[in-house]
Chain A
Amino acid sequence: MDKKEKIGVYVCHCGTNIAGVVNVGEVSTWAAENLKNDGVVIARDYKFMCSSLGQELIQKDIKEQGLTRVVVAACSPHLHEATFRNACKGGGLNPYLCELVSIREQDSWVHTDKIAATEKAKAILSGGVSRVIHHEPLEPLHVPIHPATLVVGGGIAGIQAALEIANAGFPVYLVEREPSIGGHMAQFDKTFPTLDCSACILTPKMVDAGNHPNITLLTYSEVEKVDGYVGNFVATIRKRARSVNEADCTGCGICWEKCPKKVVDNVFEAGMGYRKAVYVSFPQAVPKYPVIDRENCTYYIKGTCKACEKFCPTNAINFAQEDEILNVQVGNIILATGYDLFDSRRITQYGYGRLANVFTSLEFERMSNAAGPTGGNIVLRDGKTVPKVVGIVHCVGSRDKNYNEYCSAICCMQSLKFAHLVEERTGAEVYNFYIDIRTPGKGYEEFYHRLLEEGTHFIRGKVAEISDAARLPAEEGKLIMQVEDTLTANQLRVPVDMVILSAGLEPRHDAKEVANRFGISCSADGWLIERHPKLDPVATVTEGIYIAGCVQGPKDIPNSVAQGAAAAARILGKIQQKEVALEPIRATIHEEQCSGCRICNNMCPFNAILFHEDKMVSEVNPALCQGCGTCVAACPAGAISGTGFSNEQILSQINGLLLLNIPKKEVVA
């Protein structure tokens, strides 16, 4: 230190919250006497420091005593750090020269021994004083916000978000991996609990998104890279070659009519039906242009065919088309990449893939859809036999420590919907095997009651096994579901014709890579993490990146739509502000001390550290840096410093906490 700082210390009573346990008067007197060497010129205690009178006290002292640093011993910085920083700012002191130490949450509220608590308060205060000496005046960083938004994922959540922003008059890039937007919702037949047709409510929104002048639709495309930071991201998007010139194509459908190659459709039809090598995902696809699946197209395999080209009335087929790489500049990003269905093959005892008449929920959705592979007829795998008894297993892959511990939220309602559809269309007897019935939603419980009245059987028990090993004549040719009815404590063997596995939802197989690409994180079970689980469910820890829909966790359609809209509203707010202020807690690499050893290069998950090959030094991009300080701690040369949490600050705080800053004689045992 070149000049001696003048530090003001303020100890808060917080009514009796602190003063009831900690002798605050003793603490402030002690500080005035013992922390003189550190520059404490004034130490006061006051009833409520956060009150306007308390704040004025600080401001008055800054002006009259010429304080250069302020330490407040009160509650947690998470509660009032901003309050006291603003008070200092009001008094003409840089807000970052103020330190708030917690003697409430960390002391008076958690201890009962008054003497020990008072001593601890002294140590905590001493730590704060030692630390504040090394504080530096800081200014927040301001960055402008680009008005365009990137929405990744064209399911219902992404569509909703894109429409909200576009309707407000700002440009949106909507990127979808599949050839058409629509997502899982487009595959469903009916939506619970109202049983309205999924396509009927989704299609208008898809068309709106496709036609909106503010929305640039990029389907059959993926975001490969994201550079930049809030307000100023640059996304690199690969637009895969459709082999069809969009400008010429009218979507007439002649090409897929004429295409001789039939391919099992594992995506939209869940393996239950076929498409052609040139195809649109489904009749209502948006955009309406087909794609040629080059892996299966005869021309790409053998070099001949070109039936589509021959018959195309507008010469739109373009076999030589190449992938296009687009760079778009956006201010904010919404990730709405959705979920994968749990792979029921993993639960081998349920026999999916081994026993023909075990179906997954998505297969059933396609089967019950009038536009689906069976024309809406619910039949066994042979394509004709109508089942007489159907078993529906809930919680497949969910609420199970062997697979996923969480509840997938939608399976109960989905299973009830299936039960209703089976009964309605086939008159079959339906057994629901459940752990608990969870129907938290508007009209959901009523739907459950409706099912109970319709005569669906509900057996509370987790199915142990589904097998085709008959023991009794009545079991011959059936699937036997072995289960304990936990309400009657009876082991049951229920012979059925068809089993529907109500598979849970899982994070996308590449969720982790996607999270890394966008600089955000996944929870242990793989869903992307929101900034706050209750109060900030659509923002993430990375400024400018928002999440909506099932990418954040399992949820039903209404909740996905709500999140899409919420994320859009958050972004619209940011766009209106035109710029954003960032906390100035950042790492800096001192070039002359950096040896270019590259130890720090893999420390930053936000890709904020760049290595300059020419100068052989690394550099931190302050707009990308989130201020965690990991690189500061990692640098073997000590060449990186972190504002707000510098080595000097922390080492001094340790000194202070251990009372090493106090001349030895004065330490009272």
Chain B
Amino acid sequence: MKEYAYFPGCSLEKMASSYHKSSIETAKKLGIKLKELEDWNCCGATTYFYIDELLAYTLCARNLAIAEKTGLDVVAPCSACYKNMYFTAAHLKKDVDLAEHINFALEEDDLHFNGTVGVKHLIEVFANDIGPEELKNKVTNPLEGIRVAPYYGCQIVRPQKDKEDVEQPMFFEEMISAIGATPVNYPLKMRCCGGSLIISSRTAALGMVRNLLQSAVDAQATVVATACPMCQVNLEVYQQQVNQEFGTNFAVPIMYFTQLIGLSLEIPQKKLGIGQEFIAMAPALRQVIKG
């Protein structure tokens, strides 16, 4: 059984609690143990790096140092948390002076960042450690006939880790195929959801959400699958506002990929946090799931 240090991040504590629940449950069912980091702190989110780089690096370094103590690689379900931690680990390995500076501060907490910890996004663990073949073997309730738009968002594959394709990755599609659903091809799968622009420049962000939803609808998607609480919020919660702003009438269900996998593994809906959506689950999906 593969074990990881789990960094939920603040979104999953509240707003994205369904992502948290479904992550833990599906991972468990697939033979992956997620051990929550003790005394973790904020990752700095999307903005802190632009305000105070040193403190932002320190925040992430502290989480990484805690993870290092466990001897496990750290995994984050939130794309922003993942990107910040991965980026920090990579940067501090190169900038030894900065690492020393930060370690000086971490000493207060009896912590030290050595650069030995690996950082992974949860979807990476599902795609690589389990892989589509094994996932397919474990699926008991294939989501046949369901057209899923895999929404990667902008952060999962960046910065490039190895030689993987960062322009047109396919691992999300492969995972969707593995659970019996049909991945749809739509050109905007890698585009930004608007992120925190929704606060500072609402119209621009809503326009971006509109384009994304339109692209998914054009591809006849039943549901959009996300792998980030920020993407989920922008696509789901702001859908109504998009409709008001642009006179559209979108009602596209948005779900975490962990929820869809959970359904295909016949995990009870409640355990996956289903039932708290703003946009009701698609009837087509409701028909194929059991339990």
Q: Which residues of A contact B (CB under 8 A)?
A: 347-349, 354, 465, 467-469, 471
B188-A348 in contact (CB<8A): no
- Taken residue by residue from 193 to 229, chain B's Cβ proximity to chain A (1 for < 8 Å, 0 otherwise) reads as 0000000000000000001000100000000000000
Do A347 and B211 form a contact, CB below 8 Å, given A467-B187, A469-B187, A469-B188? no
Do A349 and B211 form a contact, CB below 8 Å, given A467-B187, A469-B187, A469-B188? no
B46 at the interface (CB under 8 A from A): no
B167-A348 in contact (CB<8A): yes
Which B residues are CB-close (under 8 A) to A347? 167
What are the nearest 7 A-B pairs in CB distance? A348-B168, A469-B187, A349-B167, A348-B167, A467-B187, A469-B188, A348-B165
- Taken residue by residue from 150 to 168, chain B's Cβ proximity to chain A (1 for < 8 Å, 0 otherwise) reads as 0000000000000001011
Which B residues are CB-close (under 8 A) to A468? 187
A252 to chain B, nearest CB (A): 48
- Label chain A's interface by main secondary structure: loop
Which A residues are CB-close (under 8 A) to B167? 347-349, 465
A349-B168 in contact (CB<8A): yes
Which A residues are CB-close (under 8 A) to B185? 354
Alpha-carbon separation in the docked complex, A436 to B187 (Å): 29
A169 to chain B, nearest CB (A): 53
Alpha-carbon separation in the docked complex, A349 to B167 (Å): 6
B165-A469 in contact (CB<8A): no
Which B residues are CB-close (under 8 A) to A349? 167-168
B211 to chain A, nearest CB (A): 7
Alpha-carbon separation in the docked complex, A354 to B189 (Å): 14
Other A-B pairs beyond A354-B168, A471-B211, 5, CB < 8 Å: A347-B167, A348-B165, A349-B168, A354-B185, A465-B167
Looking at B165, B167, B186, which has the most chain A CB atoms within 10 Å of its CB?
B167
B152 to chain A, nearest CB (A): 13
B166 to chain A, nearest CB (A): 9
Which A residues are CB-close (under 8 A) to B165? 348
Alpha-carbon separation in the docked complex, A467 to B189 (Å): 12
Which A residues are CB-close (under 8 A) to B187? 467-469
Alpha-carbon separation in the docked complex, A465 to B187 (Å): 11
Alpha-carbon separation in the docked complex, A469 to B208 (Å): 13
B182 to chain A, nearest CB (A): 17
B194 to chain A, nearest CB (A): 15
Alpha-carbon separation in the docked complex, A374 to B186 (Å): 30
Q: Nearest A residue to B189 by beta-carbon distance? A: A469
Within 8 Å by CB of B215, from A348, A354, A469, lies A469
B164 to chain A, nearest CB (A): 11
Q: List 17 A-B contacts (CB under 8 A).
A: A347-B167, A348-B165, A348-B167, A348-B168, A349-B167, A349-B168, A354-B168, A354-B185, A465-B167, A467-B187, A468-B187, A469-B186, A469-B187, A469-B188, A469-B211, A469-B215, A471-B211
Looking at A348, A468, A469, which has the most chain B CB atoms within 10 Å of its CB?
A469
B242 to chain A, nearest CB (A): 15
Alpha-carbon separation in the docked complex, A471 to B188 (Å): 11
Looking at B187, B188, B211, B215, which has the most chain A CB atoms within 10 Å of its CB?
B187
Alpha-carbon separation in the docked complex, A349 to B165 (Å): 10
Q: Nearest A residue to B207 by beta-carbon distance? A: A471
Which B residues are CB-close (under 8 A) to A471? 211
Which B residues are CB-close (under 8 A) to A469? 186-188, 211, 215
Alpha-carbon separation in the docked complex, A349 to B188 (Å): 12
B163 to chain A, nearest CB (A): 9
B258 to chain A, nearest CB (A): 26
Alpha-carbon separation in the docked complex, A349 to B190 (Å): 11
Alpha-carbon separation in the docked complex, A349 to B186 (Å): 13
Alpha-carbon separation in the docked complex, A347 to B186 (Å): 18
Alpha-carbon separation in the docked complex, A471 to B214 (Å): 10
Alpha-carbon separation in the docked complex, A347 to B166 (Å): 10
Alpha-carbon separation in the docked complex, A469 to B149 (Å): 15
Which A residues are CB-close (under 8 A) to B188? 469
Alpha-carbon separation in the docked complex, A225 to B36 (Å): 60
Which B residues are CB-close (under 8 A) to A354? 168, 185
Alpha-carbon separation in the docked complex, A338 to B34 (Å): 54
Q: Nearest B residue to A355 by beta-carbon distance? A: B187
Q: Nearest B residue to A345 by beta-carbon distance? A: B168
Q: Nearest A residue to B186 by beta-carbon distance? A: A469
Q: Nearest A residue to B211 by beta-carbon distance? A: A471
Q: Nearest B residue to A465 by beta-carbon distance? A: B167
Q: Nearest A residue to B169 by beta-carbon distance? A: A348
Alpha-carbon separation in the docked complex, A486 to B257 (Å): 40
B5 to chain A, nearest CB (A): 32
Which B residues are CB-close (under 8 A) to A467? 187
Alpha-carbon separation in the docked complex, A467 to B167 (Å): 12
A43 to chain B, nearest CB (A): 54
- Taken residue by residue from 175 to 195, chain B's Cβ proximity to chain A (1 for < 8 Å, 0 otherwise) reads as 000000000011110000000
Alpha-carbon separation in the docked complex, A468 to B215 (Å): 10
Q: Nearest A residue to B214 by beta-carbon distance? A: A469
Alpha-carbon separation in the docked complex, A425 to B168 (Å): 34
Which A residues are CB-close (under 8 A) to B215? 469
A482 to chain B, nearest CB (A): 11
Alpha-carbon separation in the docked complex, A349 to B211 (Å): 19
Alpha-carbon separation in the docked complex, A270 to B267 (Å): 50
Q: Nearest A residue to B191 by beta-carbon distance? A: A469
B265 to chain A, nearest CB (A): 31
A535 to chain B, nearest CB (A): 38
Which B residues are CB-close (under 8 A) to A348? 165, 167-168
A469 to chain B, nearest CB (A): 4
A634 to chain B, nearest CB (A): 34
Alpha-carbon separation in the docked complex, A579 to B233 (Å): 81
Which A residues are CB-close (under 8 A) to B186? 469
